[in-house]
A and B are shown apart, each in its own frame.
Chain A
């Protein structure tokens, strides 16, 4: 596996004054991977990206690129290109000049550059925009020019810093498909920074969930969503019911006083754990058919589904269902054993701080 580690970050530490942004971060990125750094603002994801791009240098640690230490290499000597958050187009140049910027510096021939401009504009669906000025373009178009400007240089890695953050919802969804298509066509590694969990789940091969300078979990979108390793990840990715519980024995967990059958083993006996149940995994059944009984306390129509809160065992359960149950009705709650995700509970406060830093 080591040979296809394209980028390897070793013990990266970075602080601004007293504020430690990254603490002993270790991460590798494989060739041809779409890796997303996901986390709330201030989690260190952008700093990580800027360290890879060379715009920040770490206080400690190394950046290894194809086996070579590039920690102190200037950005212009790295074989990667960046798409900046606010696009950072050169407003005093035409679109063609913007795209040609990197190629002219590399002293490519005119014919080659013109070909590349044509090719890149076609790739981002903006043929014929050569002579327009950046500020005459919409946000989405500027975004695509920024991508075109980066990829004509044929970088090994494309770094994207919240590139869709400034776009409206519809455009953002379209651009997600565009980015996946681009990645497949170009076959280059994408490192993507976002705070939008939906974006991350849609596009990534690998998601790195970060919080407060620490990596919380690394995994595929399915892993991250279905098997969050701790309460932070469960909470940050999608909606969830997080319930303090006790693992009675293997495959049996006591949630709020009621035993539920689950599929997890190896947590020991009578150990306190956190349980995550996704709202869409809760089935509302007739009161006598459920594992526990509850009363619907609120109901919201969300388009695809109804969002309900059901009070049962002294807890408000968040439920997503396409079936409507009116407020005030008594219902039974049923959860399939494989929909119960058990997470280790931090045993001490110190451990919790180290893990979550909340």
Chain B
């Protein structure tokens, strides 16, 4: 038999790693970001500057605010208002659908990524293709109506209405809402929830006072990631809204189509302000950038 003195000896702490070598490596690895910085300058910074230039000048290159103020044109203003309204509605619907789903996913016992995969899977397919598929489904002579007609049920007439656009927005941007919320929810320590229960809170109180407030960063980034693309879309409204409904995205697209780059850029700047506002809200709330996994 051997001496037993296992438990009184404190395990020695692992020696601190030598600082020098690793920090040198980090300093030297900065050049790795140069290709991306070049890309960023070429395809993000310069285009934005070009938009700024076109937006703030006339065809005779003189400075003007007319292009930006074109938003005050009643027709453009109506398109902006419509776009804001539809994207807001679709964002709320996304949130109402996404939150319970994210909640169920985060509680799933075998944290298999299978269901998460199913949510991400549509994102791998072309966005345009999926929207055109919805057009086929919703058309007066489309798949859904054919089936409804077969059973002598009332027809579904939502193609070319704002509701069809909302449907398209919700369908396309729902995963962008689910994932950030799911990401925050799985990070909430189970014992925080247990602590709330332990202190007397029932399920609803625990949700309202603990889970929901703690998940707000995810909700905020989800809202932005569903709201911003909805606000700027013109493809969904083109395909599902017919030609009658013009959102601000369609207006801008039209301006560029007819070669009026100056007004198109001016209106883009207005839209950019709305996007920057929502980004500012996000960066205020979303310190842990839950959305990073998406971009």
Contacts and interface: CB of A to CB of B under 8 A. Distances in A.
> Which of A88, A150, A241, A316 has its CB near the most chain B CB atoms (within 10 A)?
A88
Nearest to B8: A239
Given A316-B2, A318-B5, A90 B192 contact: yes
B194 A92 contact: no
B199 A81 contact: yes
Question: Interface on chain A toward B: helix, strand, loop, or mixed SS?
Answer: mixed
Contacts of A86: 189, 191
Interface stretch (B15-23, B76-84, B200-208): B200-208
Q: How large is the interface on A (under 10, 10 to 19, 20 to 34, 35 or more residues)?
A: 35 or more
A102 B198 CA distance: 8
Q: Which of A74, A75, A242, A315 has the most CB of B within 10 A?
A: A75
B32 interface: no
Interface residues of B, number: 25
Interface string A235-261: 110111111100000000000000000
Contacts, number: 88
Contacts of A170: none
B1 A242 contact: yes
A105 B200 contact: yes
Interface string A50-72: 00011100000000000000000
Contact of B196 (A85, A101, A150, A236): A101
B213 interface: yes
A80 to B, nearest CB: 8
A149 B199 contact: yes
Contact of A242 (B4, B195, B198): B4
B205 A105 contact: yes
A84 interface: yes
A76 interface: yes
A153 B199 contact: yes
B199 A101 contact: yes
Contact of B200 (A102, A309, A316): A102
Nearest to A92: B213
A105 B199 contact: yes
Interface of B: 1-8, 189, 191-192, 194-202, 205, 209-210, 213-214
